[in-house]
Amino acid sequence: MFHGSITALITPFTETGVDEDAFRAFVAWQIAEGSHGLVPCGTTGESPTLSHAEHHRVIDLCIEVARSAEREVPVIAGTGSNSTAEAVSLTRYAAEAGADAVLVVTPYYNKPTQEGLYHHFRAVHDAAEIPVIIYNIPGRSVVDMSVDTMKRLAELPRIRGVKDATADLARPLQTRLEIGEGFCQLSGEDATATAFLAQGGHGCISVTANAAPALCAQMQDAWRHGDLPTMQALRDRLAPLHRALFLESSPAPVKHACALLGRAPETVRLPLSQITPATRAAVRQAMVHAGLING
């Protein structure tokens, strides 16, 4: 089962494409800092603006670096789309490339019914021999997969879990009681990641971990080891950063945070834009509070 701090990786860009050297170095740094897993081509990686060739290449690069690392780290490739055919195609590619699982977002804009959601994910499931993690994020996709639909999908052998970005802390408990402890539950909300663990979660697919991989991993490890004082101290240390990284549309703020560390350029692709001076100041202040940069 996937667990701990799993980084929803940013995609570094040059003016003409993906900055492959920066991405390789960034993935290697994430592994060295203790991240428990990696998600290339999620929405934090600006997947809606990647060409199919870029999407494939970013998955390949992440797997390449992860497989050459001294420590085994799973790669959960983002392969979601509001087009079922496109999600199927990307999922097949990730499976052939050697990813450990795929993360598939609920179709955005289309607003499918619960029956439509079931058949979308069933099609992805049936397309390739690879575990599927459902990404439920009503705030961006405008649809919320019900626990009943998720339970129905969980009867399929390769539907293994959920990234829950509902911010509803009753949801992981309800899901665990309905589907069982073996269904992997990963938070998609950094600000409530520790509360999610207490409600039956297993980890977090984290935006903040891009800028604070060691702290996020240590916080998750502290929970697993029953060290609540350390977990609480790290939670409080990271709290202002969680807030600052979502003052404007992600991943623009976290890309700025990574640029402050010298880890990646902060370029984002339209329709996203550079963050305002006020948000820059808030991100810097939060980074100082977390001890990631000097004041």
Which residues carry out catalysis? 135, 163
Cα dihedral 201, 205, 211, 214, rounded to 10, equals 50
d(CA 64, CA 139): 33
